[in-house]
C-alpha cells in the first residue's frame, strides 16, 4: 500500500531548490539504532527477508575489535524499513514533547493515531491505521542480537545480549464500520535499554522538517548518519566505503560506477537539494577494490549541528575571548603548552585557542612537532608560512604517522611501560600470596583431620615405613625426615581439597586479602 502525502494546491513540480523551513524541528534519535542500521532502506527485491547481520570493525581503547548486530523478524511482518523509521521519528517527536512537560520519559507512552499521522504530514484514511498497527507489531517483533555493539548509556557498557525496541504495542479506541471516523489510540512500552538511553540523552539531534522533505528511502537512511559522521569529523569532509554503506542501509551494492550514480547518486542529490551535503563524489579506493563516497557537509546540516551544541559554542567563544586577552588561568598545563607551540609559529592567540579547544592539546602538540621536523629537513627548510601549514593540517585532519614518536608519545610509552612493570610486580606478589594461602588452607585441613597426637604418630609412621621401603627417602638426612613426611601428608590432603586456580582465586579475592 502506498501512503499519499498531503500536497499543497500551489505546489510546483520544478526541480529548483526547495526553500528550507526557518524553524528547525529537532528530534533526538537514539544513537544505537542509527549506528547499527536497524532501519534498512530496503531493496524492493529483498522485502521478504526475515534476518540480516551487520558486522563492523571499530576502535575501542586503542584496539580494533569486531562487533556485530543481527536482526530477526517474522515472515509475516518482515524487518523494519524506512517507512518504519518515519513513524518512529514521529513517535520520538511526541515523546520529546511529553518529556518537556514531565522532565523525563516514562512507560507506557500513549498517543492517538491522528497525532502520529499529523506529525508525518500524511493523508488520513482507513488504511493508514492498519499500517500503524503493523509498524508497532514489527517494532515489537524484531529481535536484535548485540555482539558488543549496542551501548547501554546508564551502565556505560557495550552489551552481549538479545534485545527488542518495543516491549509491547497495543491499539485501543473504536471506529465505525467503514473506518471513515476512526478514533484510534495506541500504547507503547519501550524496552528498558532504550528508555534508559533516551533519558540519558544518548541521542543525536535530527531536523524532522528537513527529513520530511526527502522521498527516497536511501536518502532517508543516509540522512540520520550524516549527523553522526559530521559531528565526529567536526564538519570536515567525510569518506565512506560504498559497499559497507550499502550493507548498513540494506540496499544492493553495484560494481559499476554508472549504476552507483544512477541509484545512490539520486539519493545524494536529494540531500544536496535540502542543503545537507554541498557536494559528493564517488572515487575508487586506493587501499582495496571498490569505491568510496566522499561527502562535503551542507550549510543546513552544519546549522543543525551548531544549533544542537550550544554548550560547545559557548565554550569556544569563551576560550577565544579569554585567550584573545592573554588570559590562560582556566587552561590545563597541556593546553597552555599546546597554545605556546602554536603561537611560536605565528598563529594568533585567538585562533590558537580555537585550535586547542577544537582538536585537543595532544593532537595539536603531535602535529606541530611532526611538522617542525618536516619543515627543518632537506629542501623544506624555506617554508614561508608555517602557521598556514599547521592550521591546514589540523583542520583537514591530516594524520601524524604512527611511527613518529613525539615527546608526548614517548612519555606516554614510558608511562605505559612503567604501568606494565607495576602490573608484573603486582602479579608476582599476588602469586606469592596465593601460594601462602594454599599453604594455610592445607595446614588448616591437616590440623582438622589429624589432631596433634595423631599427627605426630602419623609422621613417625611415615618416616618408619619410608625408611624401610624407599631407598631415596633413606638418603634424606635423618633430622629432615619428619619435615619430608609432613610434606607428604600436606600433598595428600591438598589432593582432597577443591582449591581454586590462581586466576579464579585472584578474581574473587580483594586487594586486602591478597597482601595480608
Mind listing the pLDDT tens digit for each residue in 220-242? 989 988 888 888 887 888 888 88
The pLDDT score that the predictor gives to residue 301 is 86
What are the grid coordinates assigned to 514, written together? Answer: 591478597
- The DSSP symbol for 32 reads H
Phi-psi category of residue 103: left, alpha or beta, with phi > 0 → left and psi -120 to 50 → alpha:
left
Q: How many whole angstroms separate alpha carbon 32 and alpha carbon 24?
A: 23
- Low-confidence stretches of the chain (pLDDT < 50) are 1-22, 44-45, 177, 179, 310-329, 379-381, 510-516
Domains in the chain, CATH or no CATH each: 19-212 (no CATH), 213-308 (1.10.10.10), 327-404 (no CATH), 417-515 (no CATH)
Cα torsion through 376, 382, 385, 389, rounded to 10:
-40
Q: How many whole angstroms separate alpha carbon 412 and alpha carbon 56?
A: 29
Read out DSSP for 305-348?
A: HHHT-HHHHHHHHHHHHHHHTT--TTS-HHHHHHHHHHHHTT--
Residues in the chain: 516
The pLDDT score that the predictor gives to residue 511 is 38
The pLDDT score that the predictor gives to residue 266 is 92
The pLDDT score that the predictor gives to residue 382 is 55
The pLDDT score that the predictor gives to residue 435 is 84
122 beta partners: 5
Backbone angles phi, psi at 81, to 5 degrees: -130, -165
The 10s digit of each residue's pLDDT in 49-73 is: 788 888 888 777 667 788 888 889 8
The arrangement of strands across the sheet holding 238-241 comes to 238-241, 291-297, 277-284
Per the CB < 8 A criterion, the answer to whether 114 and 68 are in contact is: no
Q: How many whole angstroms separate alpha carbon 455 and alpha carbon 5?
A: 93
Q: Exposed e or buried b for every residue in 299-330, given b needs 16+ CB within 10 A?
A: ebbeebbeebeeeeeeeeeebbebbeeeeeee
Q: How many whole angstroms separate alpha carbon 445 and alpha carbon 497?
A: 8
CA angle 60, 66, 71 (to 5 degrees): 115
Distance of CA 159 to the CA centre of its chain: 11
Reported as half-sphere exposure (CB side, CA atoms, 13 A), residue 459 has a value of 18
Per the CB < 8 A criterion, the answer to whether 121 and 4 are in contact is: no
The pLDDT score that the predictor gives to residue 269 is 92
Outline where 162-239 has alpha helix (H). 192-199, 208-211, 217-233
Q: How many whole angstroms separate alpha carbon 236 and alpha carbon 225?
A: 15
Q: How many whole angstroms separate alpha carbon 261 and alpha carbon 272?
A: 14
* Omega prior to 108 cis, within 30 of 0: yes
Outline where 173-283 has alpha helix (H). 192-199, 208-211, 217-233, 242-249, 257-273
The pLDDT score that the predictor gives to residue 500 is 82
Amino acid at each position: 500500500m502506498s501512503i499519499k502525502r498531503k500536497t499543497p494546491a500551489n505546489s510546483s513540480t520544478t526541480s529548483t531548490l526547495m526553500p528550507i523551513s526557518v524553524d528547525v524541528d529537532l528530534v533526538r534519535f537514539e544513537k544505537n539504532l542509527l549506528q547499527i542500521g536497524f532501519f534498512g532502506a530496503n531493496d524492493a527485491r529483498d522485502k521478504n527477508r526475515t534476518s540480516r547481520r551487520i558486522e563492523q570493525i571499530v576502535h575501542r581503547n586503542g584496539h580494533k575489535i569486531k562487533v556485530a548486530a543481527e536482526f530477526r523478524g517474522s515472515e509475516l511482518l518482515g524487518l523494519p524499513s524506512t517507512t518504519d523509521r518515519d513513524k518512529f521519528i514521529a513517535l520520538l517527536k511526541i515523546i520529546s514533547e511529553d518529556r518537556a512537560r514531565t522532565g523525563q520519559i516514562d512507560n507506557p507512552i500513549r498517543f492517538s493515531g491522528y497525532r502520529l499521522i499529523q506529525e508525518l504530514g500524511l493523508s488520513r484514511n482507513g488504511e493508514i491505521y492498519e499500517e500503524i498497527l503493523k509498524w508497532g507489531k514489527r517494532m515489537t517483533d524484531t529481535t536484535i542480537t548485540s555482539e558488543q555493539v549496542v551501548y547501554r548509556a546508564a551502565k556505560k557498557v557495550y552489551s552481549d545480549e538479545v534485545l527488542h525496541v518495543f516491549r509491547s504495542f497495543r491499539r485501543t479506541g473504536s471506529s465505525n464500520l467503514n473506518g471513515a471516523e476512526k478514533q484510534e489510540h495506541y500504547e507503547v512500552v519501550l524496552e528498558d535499554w532504550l528508555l534508559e538511553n533516551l533519558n540519558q540523552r544518548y541521542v543525536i539531534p535530527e531536523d524532522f522538517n528537513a527529513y520530511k522533505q526527502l522521498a527516497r528511502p536511501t536518502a532517508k537512511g543516509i540522512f540520520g548518519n550524516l549527523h553522526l559522521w559530521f559531528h565526529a569529523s567536526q564538519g570536515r569532509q567525510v569518506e565512506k566505503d560504498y559497499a559497507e554503506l550499502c550493507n548498513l542501509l540494506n540496499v544492493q551494492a553495484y560494481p559499476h560506477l554508472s549504476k552507483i550514480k544512477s541509484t545512490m547518486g539520486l539519493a545524494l542529490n536529494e540531500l544536496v537539494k535540502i542543503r545537507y551535503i554541498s557536494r559528493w563524489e564517488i572515487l575508487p579506493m586506493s587501499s582495496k577494490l571498490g569505491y568510496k563516497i566522499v561527502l562535503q557537509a551542507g550549510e543546513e546540516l552544519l546549522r543543525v549541528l551548531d544549533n544542537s551544541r550550544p554548550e560547545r559554542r559557548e565554550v569556544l567563544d569563551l576560550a577565544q575571548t579569554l585567550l584573545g586577552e592573554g588570559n590562560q588561568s582556566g587552561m590545563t598545563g597541556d593546553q597552555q603548552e599546546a597554545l605556546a607551540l602554536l603561537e611560536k609559529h605565528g598563529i594568533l592567540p585567538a585562533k590558537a585557542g580555537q585550535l586547542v579547544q577544537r582538536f585537543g592539546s595532544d593532537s595539536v602538540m603531535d602535529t606541530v612537532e611532526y611538522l617542525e621536523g618536516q619543515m627543518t629537513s632537506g629542501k623544506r627548510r624555506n617554508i614561508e608560512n608555517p602557521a598556514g601549514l599547521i592550521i591546514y593540517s589540523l583542520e583537514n585532519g591530516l594524520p601524524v604517522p604512527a611511527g613518529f614518536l613525539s615527546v608526548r608519545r614517548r612519555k606516554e610509552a614510558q608511562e605505559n611501560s612503567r604501568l606494565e612493570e607495576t602490573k608484573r610486580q603486582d602479579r608476582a606478589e599476588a602469586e606469592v600470596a596465593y601460594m601462602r594461602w594454599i599453604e594455610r588452607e592445607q595446614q588448616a585441613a591437616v590440623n582438622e583431620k589429624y589432631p596433634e597426637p595423631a599427627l605426630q604418630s602419623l609422621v613417625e609412621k611415615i618416616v618408619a615405613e619410608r625408611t624401610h621401603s624407599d631407598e631415596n627417602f633413606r638418603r634424606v638426612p635423618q633430622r629432615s625426615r619428619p619435615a619430608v613426611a609432613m610434606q607428604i601428608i600436606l600433598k595428600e590432603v591438598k589432593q582432597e581439597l577443591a582449591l581454586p586456580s590462581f586466576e579464579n582465586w585472584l578474581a574473587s579475592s580483594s586487594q586486602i586479602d591478597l597482601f595480608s
